[in-house]
């Protein structure tokens, strides 16, 4: 019925698509893209966690940076006007989430560096107190406070740096890739 026409094999469009990874997701209806609990219009609805999880699984196998997200629907459920709105909404969602994660990552790395440097400073100050070899109570109290505090700040800061460069980097990469993905609809 509403099958997409296949372009000639040597066309520019075919060459462009071959450079991109195509992610095919089969849907029963357009409502599967959004949360069941959100009654707003397609342009404002919350994107479904199940949809994002499924896209994430499929995208994990893809290697390229450029992607096409092809949402496949039964012929009777397609509506071009809704599809345009949904494509806009998904693009907006992925761009907002990518920007939010990038900002969180930058803030997290900055805070981790500050924490690490603070830990090093506390440990240097503790070493200086030990070097003074003083029997004064307040210096001993500062040593008791600064030495474990320095170790804690140092290792917590380093742990956060590793966390932001590892696990959270994968999430940012996913949303960054999807923010630039071309969204298409096709008939099953």
Same domain, 119 and 145: yes
Q: What is the pLDDT of residue 52?
A: 92
- Reported residue count of the chain is 188
Q: What is the pLDDT of residue 2?
A: 42
Same domain, 87 and 110: no
Same domain, 22 and 85: yes
Could you list the pLDDT tens digit for every one of the 188 residues in the chain? 444 444 444 444 444 445 678 888 898 888 888 887 888 888 888 888 999 999 998 888 777 778 899 999 888 888 888 889 999 999 999 999 999 999 998 998 999 999 999 999 999 999 888 888 878 888 888 888 889 999 999 999 999 988 877 777 888 888 999 999 999 998 87
C-alpha to C-alpha distance for 145 and 172, rounded to whole angstroms: 38
Q: What is the pLDDT of residue 6?
A: 43
Same domain, 94 and 37: yes
Same domain, 110 and 61: no
C-alpha to C-alpha distance for 55 and 69, rounded to whole angstroms: 9
Domain that holds residue 144: 106-170
SS3 69: strand
Domain assignment of residue 94, yes or no: yes
Domain assignment of residue 53, yes or no: yes
Same domain, 118 and 86: no
Same domain, 95 and 120: no
Domain assignment of residue 2, yes or no: no
C-alpha to C-alpha distance for 80 and 69, rounded to whole angstroms: 16
Same domain, 87 and 119: no
Domain assignment of residue 3, yes or no: no
C-alpha to C-alpha distance for 166 and 174, rounded to whole angstroms: 13
Angle formed by the axes of helices 137-165 and 167-179, to 10°? Answer: 40
Determine how many CB atoms are found less than 10 A away from the CB of residue 132.
11
Q: What is the pLDDT of residue 43?
A: 80
Q: What is the pLDDT of residue 79?
A: 82
Domain assignment of residue 84, yes or no: yes
Q: What is the pLDDT of residue 8?
A: 44
Q: What is the pLDDT of residue 19?
A: 67
Phi then psi for 114, rounded to 5 degrees?
A: -60, -45
Is 19:67 a contact under the CB 8 Å cutoff? no
| Chain centroid offset of residue 66 CA | 16
Same domain, 96 and 129: no
Nearest 10 degrees: Cα torsion 165, 171, 173, 177: -170
Residue 91: name the closest of 83, 81, 102, 79 by CA: 83
Q: Tally the domains of the chain.
A: 2
């Amino acid at each position: 019925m509403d099958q997409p026409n296949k372009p000639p094999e040597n066309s520019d469009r075919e060459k462009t698509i071959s450079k991109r990874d195509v992610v095919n997701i089969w849907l029963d209806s357009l409502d599967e893209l959004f949360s069941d609990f959100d009654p707003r219009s397609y342009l404002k609805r919350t994107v479904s966690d199940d949809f994002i999880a499924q896209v994430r699984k499929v995208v994990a196998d893809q290697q390229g940076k450029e992607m096409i997200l092809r949402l496949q629907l039964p012929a009777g459920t397609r509506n071009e006007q809704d599809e345009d709105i949904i494509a806009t909404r998904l693009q907006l969602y992925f761009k907002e989430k990518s920007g939010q994660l990038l900002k969180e990552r930058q803030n997290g790395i900055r805070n981790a560096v500050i924490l690490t440097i603070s830990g090093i400073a506390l440990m240097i100050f503790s070493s200086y107190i030990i070097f003074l070899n003083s029997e004064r109570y307040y210096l001993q109290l500062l040593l008791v406070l600064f030495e474990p505090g320095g170790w804690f700040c140092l290792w917590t800061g380093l742990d956060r740096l590793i966390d932001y460069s590892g696990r959270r980097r994968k999430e940012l990469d996913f949303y960054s890739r999807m923010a630039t993905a071309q969204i298409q609809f096709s008939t099953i």
